[in-house]
C-alpha cells in the first residue's frame, strides 16, 4: 500500500462531525513528519465524496485556505452540516471536535 493510500484509509476513518489534523493523519499513515504530504494527498483526493478530506484541519483547527473542492467556505459548510461549530476566529475546537484516532 502506498503512503497516499494509507492517508486516504486513515481519513476515511474520521467519523462524521469530527475532525483530525494533517499531523495526526501523517502519524496514522506511518510518517509523522509528513503533514505537508498529507495536505497534498488530500488536494489531489481521487474520491472527494468517499474520502472526507473536509474533515482534516491544521493543528490550530484552521481550515485549508485552498480547499480543493470548493474553497474554504465549502469546507466550513460541509463541517457545519455535520454539526461542527466554529469560534469567532473561524477555528474548530479540537478539544471538542477532534477525533482521537484509532
**Residues annotated as catalytic (active site), given as ranges:** 53
Q: How far apart are CA 26 and CA 18, in angstroms?
A: 17
Beta-carbon count within 10 A of 54 CB? 27
Instruction: Please list, in sequence order, all residues whose beta carbon lies within 8 angstroms of the beta carbon of residue 92, skipping any fewer than 6 positions away.
Output: 19, 57, 61, 62, 63, 79, 84, 85, 86, 98
Overall size of the chain counted in residues: 102
Contact by Cβ (8 Å): 79, 92: yes
Amino acid at each position: 500500500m502506498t503512503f497516499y493510500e494509507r492517508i486516504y484509509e486513515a481519513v476515511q476513518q474520521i467519523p462524521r462531525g469530527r475532525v483530525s489534523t494533517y499531523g495526526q493523519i501523517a502519524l496514522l499513515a506511518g510518517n509523522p513528519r509528513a503533514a505537508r504530504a498529507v495536505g497534498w494527498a488530500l488536494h489531489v483526493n481521487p474520491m472527494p465524496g468517499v474520502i472526507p478530506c473536509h474533515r482534516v484541519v491544521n493543528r490550530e483547527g484552521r481550515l485549508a485556505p485552498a480547499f480543493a473542492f470548493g474553497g474554504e467556505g465549502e469546507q466550513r459548510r460541509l463541517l457545519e452540516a455535520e454539526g461542527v461549530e466554529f469560534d469567532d476566529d473561524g477555528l474548530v475546537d479540537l478539544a471538542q471536535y477532534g477525533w482521537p484516532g484509532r
